[in-house]
A and B are shown apart, each in its own frame.
Chain A
Amino acid sequence: MSSVIDILDLSTEEIEELISVACDIIENPDKYAEKCKRKKLATLFFEPSTRTRLSFEAAMYELGGNVIGFSAANNSSAAKGESVSDTVRTVSCYADIIAMRHPKEGAPLVASMATDIPIINAGDGGHNHPTQTLADLLTIYREKGSFENLTVGLCGDLKFGRTVHSLINALSRYSGIKFVLISPEELKLPDYVTNNVIIKNNIPYEVTTDLIASMPKLDILYMTRVQRERFFNEQDYIRLKDSYILTPDKLSEAKADLSIMHPLPRVNEISVAVDKDPRACYFKQVLNGKYIRMALILKLLGVE
């Protein structure tokens, strides 16, 4: 493992190893407090992000390392027209590892081809976001104890939601998984994900527009935001953004041990009233995201 661009760059064994390290970090944080002393993480965020960038930075600080970088393209040489490859070659002279977010799909892959230091894809447009998936997987593992025999409902924007595509890719490698794909017609899961991942792996799935009817069968409900920035047309966004809003009454038929997940930020797709429900896991996901990023940084830097 030299870079992580796509969740499928990681074998199930590597994912399980990362989860094991993350769990050890949670149990023994002091043991890891100086593991990355004198190492530098560069956070190259060509697109704004609060959660992911701060999560990477917090992860590196908790490992005793340092952080350099920028948080928007207009603060970087990209504003002057510099290519991704040149930016990365330059930053590689200063940093030991790079976490990159970029609005263009495939930019982190281009970066990984331009340098020998590890690149972590921190989100490339609507394409991949492997560390969010790792955070999701750590959360599922901590909530359910395994990745097998789970019925996973994915709700909201399944078309542009990169976290959904990555999670489907990751969970499709485990046995006993079933997917319930809940979305408006306009935001259905793309055919290439359905065909090349779900059908190819012989995974049972159903496609529905009905969130409430699906609820009783779910072990995990993964809600997503209908993202304004993924639409070319503002009117389409306004028409669809409120399609699926989770409220306490919609949970009345849900299992007692349902795990409600969301990659955040939410707009209004989960009512704040649901936050008090013990089944709500989305803020645990944020914390798990930091731990799994710590594990990933250690792994990519070859720190034992």
Chain B
Amino acid sequence: MVIDSINNGIVIDHITSGKSMTLYKFLNLDKLTCSVAIIKNAPSSKNGKKDIIKIDELIDIDVDVLGYLDPGVSVNTIKDGKIVSKFNPELPERLVDVIKCKNPRCISQDEQELTHIFKLTDREKRIYRCIYCESKAK
């Protein structure tokens, strides 16, 4: 299967197989007007299979979303057909308006236009807690 290479844009590589649509949704890629290619189940020497997202435009990617949802990905920036930067997002210390608290007793369920913030409380176990009620992110 052949997907055109991009000249100027972003390639999110090494996405855990099956997670590309989740990233697509959380990164709000549906709002873009440029070409976006989602490649599912591409061969991967490391994990057997991987997903890839190619975005045919240089945009700001929310690396916190990537770090939270799939910390193994790599983000390649392409300029004039060449990779000019490559990095692996880390688990972010804070998540701002990425996920919402599910605790029915939390103020974030009621308060109008409140920013939903979670903080990383256990890096090893990847546990995030709501800053308002301290409930664990689900």
Chain A contacts to B: CB under 8 angstroms: 83-85, 102-107, 109-110, 124-127, 192, 196
Contacts and interface: CB of A to CB of B under 8 A. Distances in A.
Contacts of A83: 111-112
A12 to B, nearest CB: 21
Contact of B106 (A84, A104, A196): A104
Given A84-B107, A196-B121, A109 B112 contact: no
Chain A CB within 10 Å, residue with most, of B103, B122, B132, B135 = B132
B138 interface: no
A84 B111 contact: yes
Given A84-B107, A104-B107, A104-B110, A109 B121 contact: no
A105 B136 contact: no
Contacts of B133: 105-106, 125, 127
A104 B130 CA distance: 13
A262 to B, nearest CB: 24
- Contact residue range for chain B? 10 to 19
B25 interface: no
B112 A106 contact: no
Contacts of A106: 106-108, 130-133
A102 B107 contact: yes
B131 A109 contact: yes
A84 B19 CA distance: 37
Contacts of B131: 106, 109
Given A83-B112, A106-B131, A109-B131, A192 B136 contact: yes
B31 interface: no
12 contacts: A83-B112, A84-B111, A104-B105, A105-B106, A105-B133, A106-B107, A106-B133, A109-B131, A109-B132, A125-B133, A127-B105, A196-B122
A83 B108 CA distance: 11
A88 B103 CA distance: 23
Interface in B101-120: 103, 105-112, 114
